[in-house]
């Protein structure tokens, strides 16, 4: 390795790592704020939060790597230009592309790493993140008994605590409404002067001991005996204990197979297979439109031609032909025997006499095709024609909607496939934007380089969003074309 390459690479690694960390942190915070309302108050442990952040950080690699390359390249070339090292190299006859060779190799390696992440690592990380987030969404909020607030976290129980001591266990003025036997008991309430609450060591059960209280109960009606009178029961107690199972507050793992078909959870090979399947479904849908129209007209659908099969050798073709001829002879003889037996037992069939109305004048003198039929049959023919036309239109509209849905899915899947390639390529493109820009502004550090890099990166994000929306609305262009338009526009603008 030449000294100039070593100088550029060592100067590039430090700013790249720092810029990558900053970009990763900003992107993680941006996405995390979208889900903070669903995570807060669920009692999620720090380990699960770290796991979520880890999966989320992996999924943001394709966005963080390009901006890190852009900032680092502007800083490196800006430092060289600011200290006149770049001018010294060029005055010595070293071209700019030769000076950038170390940076080009580094950007190519980072782009290849981004490609591998997009193909193998990110689909798994997205699946794990989606599964964990779904588990958190389904989890009940963490148990929090606050004083003066009615709590309904436990199923069919309403708990109110008048006051709670600083130890978090001693409570007073407690009220519990039991709704477990709502059909047989109209009213079941427990009130106590003081009590104690705690969870067991294994955190499986929540225990509440109440002291010096009263239980009020009013039985409900049984069957049709609505007018019968029932006593109101009041029971005083010195100690009362209730144990609740905390299992309903535990996180239950979801089945990952529920999300396996999502586009963001598939590798490139799986996306290509889905694209091929969607293309076949769209072609079969177009053929189904023609078949439905022919069936509506009581015509036989046109069968597609079988594809030509290429055999390995002429000998194989000869063997297949001989086998086919032998089978054809056997089938022909069996059919002839069956026809002879049917002819021997068949009875003469009278031919159906179909009356056709004679034409009284040449066809050119009729005002419409309907006038060629008898007057008595015209109303029936018109009704039958309207019904067939309406049925045909309905069939075509249904098939068309199915094809449009498959077309939308095809475009989204194609965009998801080619965006993996494009994010790897943008690492390479941003180097050729950032390095010359750093040589032009002649400034290093985290001042002007970050400002210039953010401007280009925001432009790239805007083009990405615009092309994604145009791609999904377009029904003419293949998804691959709109995916690469943003890079051509970016190259022209820079």
pLDDT score of 337: 60
Number of Cβ atoms within 10 Å of the Cβ of 59: 22
Last residue of a domain, one of 249, 275, 307: 249
Name 189's bridge partners. Answer: 177, 216
> In angstroms, what CA-CA distances link 70 with 13, 411, 440?
13, 30, 14
pLDDT score of 108: 92
d(CA 32, CA 470): 27
pLDDT score of 113: 94
Query: Over 70: is that where the pLDDT of 270 sits?
Result: yes
User: Percent of the chain scored above 70 by pLDDT?
Assistant: 72
What number is the average pLDDT over the span 12-21?
Answer: 92
pLDDT score of 152: 79
> In angstroms, what CA-CA distances link 315 with 63, 319, 320, 325, 326?
57, 6, 9, 16, 17
pLDDT in tens, 406-443: 888 888 888 888 888 888 888 888 898 888 888 888 77
Dihedral in degrees, nearest 10, Cα atoms 75, 78, 79, 82: -160
In terms of C-beta distances under 8 Å and separation of at least 24 residues, what long-range contacts does 247-253 make, across chains too? 247/204, 248/140, 248/154, 248/155, 249/43, 249/139, 249/140, 249/142, 249/143, 249/153, 250/139, 251/48, 251/135, 251/136, 251/139, 252/135, 252/138, 252/139, 253/131, 253/135
Are 135 and 180 in a shared domain?
no
Residue 439 lies in a domain: yes
Q: How many domains does the chain have?
A: 2
pLDDT score of 351: 43
Query: Over 70: is that where the pLDDT of 251 sits?
Result: no
Are 130 and 99 in a shared domain?
yes
Q: Which of 145-154, 448-457, 473-482 has the lowest mean pLDDT?
A: 473-482
Query: Over 90: is that where the pLDDT of 198 sits?
Result: no
Instruction: Identify how many contiguous H helices and E strands the chain contains and give both numbers.
Output: 12, 6
Are 39 and 164 in a shared domain?
no
Q: Which residue has the higher pLDDT, 3 or 225?
A: 3
Q: Which of 63-67, 347-351, 381-385, 417-421 has the lowest mean pLDDT?
A: 347-351
Q: Which of 69-83, 206-220, 434-448 has the lowest mean pLDDT?
A: 434-448
pLDDT score of 311: 47
DSSP 370-395: GGGS-HHHHHHHHHHHHHHHHHHHHH
What is the pLDDT confidence band of residue 64, given thresholds at 50, 70 and 90?
very high
CB 274 within 8 A of CB 413: yes
Query: Over 70: is that where the pLDDT of 359 sits?
Result: no
The first and second tokens of residue 132, run together, are: 């964990």
Are 183 and 134 in a shared domain?
no
pLDDT score of 335: 52
d(CA 205, CA 198): 9
> In angstroms, what CA-CA distances link 117 with 56, 57, 112, 298, 459?
13, 12, 9, 55, 24
Residue 242 lies in a domain: yes
Residue 27 lies in a domain: yes
Last residue of a domain, one of 219, 249, 279: 249
Q: Which of 28-42, 50-64, 219-233, 312-326 has the lowest mean pLDDT?
A: 312-326
The first and second tokens of residue 309, run together, are: 């099969």
Query: Over 70: is that where the pLDDT of 329 sits?
Result: no
Q: Which of 133-137, 164-168, 278-282, 317-321 has the lowest mean pLDDT?
A: 317-321
Report the candidate in 158, 390, 394 with the shortest Cα–Cα distance to residue 289: 394
Query: Over 70: is that where the pLDDT of 315 sits?
Result: no
67: containing domain: 3-141+418-493
Query: Over 80: is that where the pLDDT of 63 sits?
Result: yes
Residue 195 lies in a domain: yes
Residue 445 lies in a domain: yes
Are 21 and 98 in a shared domain?
yes
Residues 467, 468, 470, 471, CA torsion sign? positive
Residues 177, 180, 183, 184, CA torsion sign? negative
Spell out the residues 6+ positions from residue 110 whose beta carbon is closer than 8 angstroms to its own. Answer: 65, 69, 427
pTM (2 d.p.) = 0.63
Are 39 and 123 in a shared domain?
yes
Residue 394 lies in a domain: no
What number is the average pLDDT over the span 204-230?
Answer: 76
What number is the average pLDDT over the span 103-121?
Answer: 92
What is the pLDDT confidence band of residue 111, given thresholds at 50, 70 and 90?
very high
Q: Which of 34-48, 172-186, 300-314 has the lowest mean pLDDT?
A: 300-314
Are 165 and 40 in a shared domain?
no
In terms of C-beta distances under 8 Å and separation of at least 24 residues, what long-range contacts does 210-216 make, across chains too? 210/174, 210/176, 210/237, 210/239, 210/240, 210/241, 210/242, 211/238, 211/239, 211/240, 212/238, 213/174, 213/237, 213/240, 214/190, 215/188, 215/189, 215/190, 215/240, 216/187, 216/188, 216/189, 216/190, 216/191
What number is the average pLDDT over the span 185-213?
Answer: 84
Spell out the residues 6+ positions from residue 85 whose beta carbon is closer than 8 angstroms to its own. Answer: 79
d(CA 371, CA 383): 15
pLDDT in tens, 454-471: 888 888 888 877 877 776
Q: Which of 91-95, 324-328, 335-339, 349-353 has the lowest mean pLDDT?
A: 349-353
Are 123 and 192 in a shared domain?
no
Q: Which residue has the higher pLDDT, 202 or 133?
A: 133
Are 48 and 114 in a shared domain?
yes
Are 34 and 92 in a shared domain?
yes
What is the pLDDT confidence band of residue 13, given thresholds at 50, 70 and 90?
very high
- SS3 of 335, please? helix
Are 54 and 171 in a shared domain?
no
Provide the mean pLDDT of the chain.
Answer: 77
d(CA 264, CA 415): 11
The first and second tokens of residue 130, run together, are: 């989606």
Residue 172 lies in a domain: yes
Number of Cβ atoms within 10 Å of the Cβ of 218: 14
Last residue of a domain, one of 227, 249, 271: 249
Which of 134-138, 281-285, 302-306, 371-375 has the largest mean confidence? 281-285
Are 128 and 225 in a shared domain?
no
Q: Which of 287-301, 454-468, 470-484 has the lowest mean pLDDT?
A: 470-484
Q: Which of 89-93, 130-134, 152-156, 438-442 has the lowest mean pLDDT?
A: 152-156
CA 368-372-377 angle, to 5 degrees, is 110
Residue 366 lies in a domain: no
Query: Over 80: is that where the pLDDT of 88 sits?
Result: yes
pLDDT score of 43: 67
pLDDT in tens, 274-291: 888 888 888 888 888 877
Query: Over 90: is that where the pLDDT of 164 sits?
Result: no
What is the pLDDT confidence band of residue 349, given thresholds at 50, 70 and 90?
very low
- SS3 of 175, please? strand
User: Percent of the chain scored above 90 by pLDDT?
Assistant: 8
pLDDT score of 268: 87
Q: Which residue has the higher pLDDT, 473 or 353?
A: 473
């Amino acid at each position: 390795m030449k000294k100039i390459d070593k100088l550029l690479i060592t100067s590039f690694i430090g700013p790249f790592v720092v810029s990558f960390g900053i970009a990763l942190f900003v992107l993680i915070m941006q996405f995390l704020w979208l889900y903070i309302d669903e995570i807060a108050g669920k009692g999620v442990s720090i380990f699960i939060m770290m796991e979520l952040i880890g999966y989320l950080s992996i999924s943001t690699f394709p966005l963080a790597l390009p901006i890190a390359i852009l900032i680092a390249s502007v800083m490196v070339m800006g430092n060289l230009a600011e200290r006149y090292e770049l001018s010294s190299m060029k005055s010595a006859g070293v071209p700019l592309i030769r000076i950038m060779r170390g940076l080009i190799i580094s950007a190519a390696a980072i782009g290849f790493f981004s490609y591998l992440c997009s193909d193998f690592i990110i689909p798994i990380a997205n699946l794990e993140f989606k599964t964990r987030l779904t588990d958190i969404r389904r989890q009940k909020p963490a148990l929090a008994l606050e004083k003066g607030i009615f709590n309904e976290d436990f199923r069919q129980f309403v708990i109110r605590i008048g006051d709670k001591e600083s130890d978090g266990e001693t409570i007073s003025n407690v009220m519990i409404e039991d709704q477990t036997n709502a059909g047989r008991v109209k009213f079941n309430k427990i009130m106590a002067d003081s009590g104690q609450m705690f969870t067991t060591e294994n955190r499986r059960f929540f225990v509440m001991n109440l002291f010096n209280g009263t239980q009020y109960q009013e039985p409900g009606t049984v069957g049709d005996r609505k007018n019968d009178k029932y006593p109101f029961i009041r029971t005083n107690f010195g100690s009362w204990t209730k144990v609740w199972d905390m299992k309903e507050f535990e996180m239950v793992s979801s089945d990952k197979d529920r999300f396996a078909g999502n586009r963001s959870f598939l590798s490139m090979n799986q996306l290509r297979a889905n694209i091929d399947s969607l293309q076949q479904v769209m072609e079969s849908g177009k053929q189904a439109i023609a078949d439905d129209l022919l069936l509506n007209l009581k015509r036989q659908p046109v069968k597609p031609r079988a594809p030509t099969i290429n055999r390995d050798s002429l000998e194989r073709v000869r063997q297949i032909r001989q086998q086919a001829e032998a089978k054809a002879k056997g089938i022909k003889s069996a059919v002839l025997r069956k026809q002879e037996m049917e002819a021997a037992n068949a009875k003469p069939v009278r031919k159906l006499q179909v009356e056709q109305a004679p034409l009284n004048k040449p066809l050119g003198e009729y005002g419409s095709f309907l006038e060629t039929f008898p007057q008595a049959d015209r109303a029936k023919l018109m009704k039958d024609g309207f019904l067939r036309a309406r049925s045909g239109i309905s069939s075509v509209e249904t098939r068309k909607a199915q094809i449009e849905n498959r077309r939308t899915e095809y475009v989204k899947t194609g965009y998801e496939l080619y965006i993996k390639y494009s994010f790897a390529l943008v690492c390479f493109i941003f180097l050729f934007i950032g390095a010359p820009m750093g040589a032009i502004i002649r400034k290093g550090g985290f001042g002007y380089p970050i400002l210039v890099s953010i401007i280009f990166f925001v432009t790239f994000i805007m083009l990405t969003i615009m092309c994604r929306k145009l791609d999904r609305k377009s029904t003419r262009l293949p998804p691959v074309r709109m995916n690469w338009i943003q890079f051509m526009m970016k190259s022209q603008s820079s």
